[in-house]
Amino acid sequence: MSKPKRPVSSAQRGRENADPDEGVRPLPWFLVMFLGAMAMWGAFYIYSTPSGEDSAYGDQRTVETLRPPVLTAGAVSQVDGKQIYGSKCAACHQATGLGVAGVFPPLVASEWVVEDEKILTHILLHGINGEITVKGVVYKGAMPAWQSMSDAELAAVMTYIRAEWGNKAPPITAETVKAQREATKDRTEPYKGGAELKSAS
């Protein structure tokens, strides 16, 4: 005789886990379509985006933008003489232009700075290596040549030292520098001092 079945209450059934079942549960069709559309759009995007051209976003500077501006004769006003002085001259002649006693001559009220523009240009183009008397004091040092600076840069820094610290001499143009560069182009060594500067200029 079979045992009588015990009645199963719905509360009991509710506590049971669902029976495990095998089989593939397909992804919902809309998800499949959505993923397919995304993949196709991605492929299309990569295919249609131009490569090797300027990016439409981000850093839009081109090589041209980054190239330093070409300094022409007329561009003196764009060159900052003070800034050049600070980076190239102040180490020796000091920001005050007073130099260092006995070692680096002063530019303040120096006859070499405020008098003959040609001689000043020659000093900067070729440097000095020998005795030079500045405001009654003899210096025997060496001043490097600054030929590598452009005409406009040299003009700007000379114009700066001629008008700073109470100096009052007229500006020097890039044309003057250009002409003096040409006139002294055969020189390969620094001037041997104040005397040679005067006689050669």
Closest CA to 114 of 77, 156, 160, 79: 160
Q: Is 146 an interacting residue with respect to ligand HEC (CB under 6 A)?
A: yes
Reading the block at residue 144, the tokens are 């490097």
Stretch of residues binding ligand HEC (CB under 6 A), selected from 1-9, 11-19, 57-65, 98-106: 98-106
Q: Is 93 an interacting residue with respect to ligand HEC (CB under 6 A)?
A: yes
Q: In whole angstroms, how close is the CB of 51 to ligand HEC at the nearest point?
A: 47
- Closest to ligand HEC by CB, 129 vs 150, is 129
Q: Rounded to an integer, what distance in angstroms lies between the CA atom of residue 150 and that of residue 156?
A: 10
CB 109 within 8 A of CB 171: no
CB hemisphere CA count around 115 (13 angstroms): 11
The string over 96-105, giving b where at least 16 C-beta atoms fall within 10 Å of a residue's C-beta and e elsewhere, is: ebebeeeebb
Under DSSP, is residue 5 helix (H, G, I), strand (E, B) or coil?
Answer: coil
Q: Is 125 an interacting residue with respect to ligand HEC (CB under 6 A)?
A: no
Stretch of residues binding ligand HEC (CB under 6 A), selected from 18-26, 37-45, 66-74, 84-92: 84-92
Q: Is 143 an interacting residue with respect to ligand HEC (CB under 6 A)?
A: yes
Site for ligand HEC in 99-118 (CB under 6 A): 104-107, 110, 112-113
- Closest to ligand HEC by CB, 179 vs 193, is 193
Q: Is 177 an interacting residue with respect to ligand HEC (CB under 6 A)?
A: no
Burial of residue 131 (number of CB atoms within 10 Å: 0-12, 13-18, 19+): middle
Q: Rounded to an integer, what distance in angstroms lies between the CA atom of residue 177 and that of residue 182?
A: 8
CB 117 within 8 A of CB 192: no
- Closest to ligand HEC by CB, 41 vs 133, is 133
Site for ligand HEC in 40-69 (CB under 6 A): none
Per CB under 6 A, residues contacting ligand HEC are: 88-89, 91-93, 104-107, 110, 112-113, 120, 123-124, 128-130, 132, 134, 139-144, 146, 157, 161, 193
